[in-house]
Amino acid sequence: MESKLSPVMTVAELNRFLETDFPEIHTDGKLFEVTAVEPGTVTMRLAPSARHLRPGGTVSGPTMFALADVTAYCAVLAHIGPVALAVTTNLNINFLRKPEPGALSCTCRLLKLGKRLAVIEAAIWAGPEDEMVAHATATYSIPPC
């Protein structure tokens, strides 16, 4: 099913917005990067550092949660513009399998984009087989203009 939502921000604009308005996400270096913007979707890549790993050789749950949240935020912004005060009101995540240490990608799809709320579905992928390791749904509040 093709999305009727058209992005208003590009990959470069989203990455620049994150660097200027949320530089703290790059405290350990550039870990988060928007890699694709398409109608109704945004994809990000996360290159976790050693502090994002847990004993047993896996990327931590809080790291995957953060990836889903930041990607959902970018999906909303990509389609409404740089509204820094859009905020998460809910995010549920299901961890499906243990990802090996290494890069993760997250694709978020807008399920609903209204004037005041957005509902987003996130899928996090990892490994050489590109297996889904987590699935999340999020709701964002969009401030009045």
Task: Give one DSSP letter per residue of 32-51, joined into a string.
Answer: EEEEEEETTEEEEEE---GG
Rounded to 10 degrees, what is the CA torsion of 11, 17, 22, 26? 40
Decide if 65 contacts 131 (C-beta within 8 A): no
Q: In this model, does residue 145 exceed pLDDT 80? A: no
- 107 part of a folded domain: yes
- 2 part of a folded domain: no
- 4 part of a folded domain: no
Q: How many domains does the chain have?
A: 1
pLDDT of residue 3: 66
- 116 part of a folded domain: yes
Q: What is the pLDDT of residues 23-81, one digit of tens each?
A: 888 887 889 999 999 999 999 999 998 888 888 889 999 999 999 999 999 999 999 99
pLDDT of residue 72: 98
pLDDT of residue 4: 80
CA dist list (Å): 85 to 11, 47, 134, 143, 144: 20, 26, 26, 7, 10
pLDDT of residue 126: 94
Domain of 120 in residue numbering reads as: 11-141
- 5 part of a folded domain: no
pLDDT of residue 2: 55
- 6 part of a folded domain: no
- 61 part of a folded domain: yes
Q: What is the CA radius of gyration of the chain?
A: 15
Q: In this model, does residue 1 exceed pLDDT 80? A: no
Q: What is the pLDDT of residues 83-139, one digit of tens each?
A: 889 999 999 999 999 998 999 999 999 999 999 999 999 999 998 888 999 999 999
pLDDT of residue 10: 98
- 78 part of a folded domain: yes
For 75, half-sphere exposure in the C-beta direction (CA atoms, 13 angstrom radius) is: 34
CATH of the domain at 109: 3.10.129.10
Nearest to 28 by CA among 50, 12, 11, 13: 50
